[in-house]
Amino acid sequence: MSFHLVRYARVDAMRYMAFDRPVLRGTGGLRFWRLLGTARGGSMGLSADPRRWATLAVWDGEAALEGFLSRSPIARRWREEAVESWHVRMAPLRAHGRWGGVEPFGAPSPGASGAERGPVAVLTRASIRPSRLVEFYRAVPAVERDLAAQDGCLASVGMGEWPVARQATFSLWRDAAAVGGFAHRTDAHRRVIGRVRERGWYAEELFARFAPLSSEGTWNGVDPLRPG
């Protein structure tokens, strides 16, 4: 699978969300995809960044991804019009939950347990119940502060399919231990997880980990997976 984070110079880049959908629907070898707007912060906040957009894609194999990158008008536009872009190829390690009623990432890759000794990518996604939106967004700032304080977090971006109600995060971590430290030992995150269960915030949710295989380009001026 692949994840692409692209920043444009123009604030009207939102039009690509409409233009790209029929192209992606007709792309051979593309099993699952989502176009996502991004937040200005590292988690699921309300401040949108109209210049930066993300694409998450699950492919039938490397040949399908290579064909897209070499021939698709979307990939050509990324090369020609983006002021910054970052792309990563990944293998699934573990996942639970659904996205739009499907399990998009399949079985873990062979050797998944060993892969978690290196950098780990984490995707979280939730469809928030309308009656729980206020509670959810009141909790976001404290979680974002905890996330920013984690030295094992290499980079993070909040994303959304729809404004407000369908939210996601994509983050990169030094290793699986760093992910576990944030998930289970930071007060704000533990409180939120408890309230998610007690109050039924989500109508649908998904959590997945991946092993980054290769990356190129920059994200806020650097490639967070390249040793500095």
Tokens found for residue 132: 């729980």
pLDDT above 90 for 54: yes
**Higher pLDDT pick, 102 / 148:** 102
pLDDT above 90 for 77: yes
User: Which domains are delineated in the chain?
Assistant: 2-217 (3.30.70.100)
Average pLDDT over every residue of 172-179? 93
Helix (H) or strand (E) holding 227, with range, is none
* Mean pLDDT for the chain overall: 87
Q: Say how far apart CA 92 and CA 112 lie, in whole Å.
A: 8
Q: Say how far apart CA 107 and CA 37 lie, in whole Å.
A: 27
User: How confident is the model over 90-101, as pLDDT tens digits?
Assistant: 999 999 999 999
User: How confident is the model over 179-220, as pLDDT tens digits?
Assistant: 888 766 666 666 767 777 788 888 899 999 999 999 999 999
The reported pTM is 0.89
pLDDT above 80 for 46: no
Residue 191 vs residues 7, 140, 196: alpha-carbon distances, Å: 33, 11, 9
Tokens found for residue 17: 């969300």
Average pLDDT over every residue of 37-59? 84
pLDDT above 80 for 105: yes
Q: If pLDDT is split at 50, 70 and 90, which confidence band does 12 have?
A: confident
- Percent of the chain at pLDDT exceeding 70: 88
pLDDT above 90 for 148: no
Lowest mean pLDDT among 83-87, 104-108, 208-212: 104-108
* Range among 14-18, 57-61, 167-171, 190-194 with highest mean pLDDT value: 57-61
User: How confident is the model over 25-37, as pLDDT tens digits?
Assistant: 999 999 999 999 9
Dihedrals phi, psi of 158, to nearest 5 degrees: -85, 145
User: How confident is the model over 116-144, as pLDDT tens digits?
Assistant: 579 999 999 999 888 888 888 787 777 77
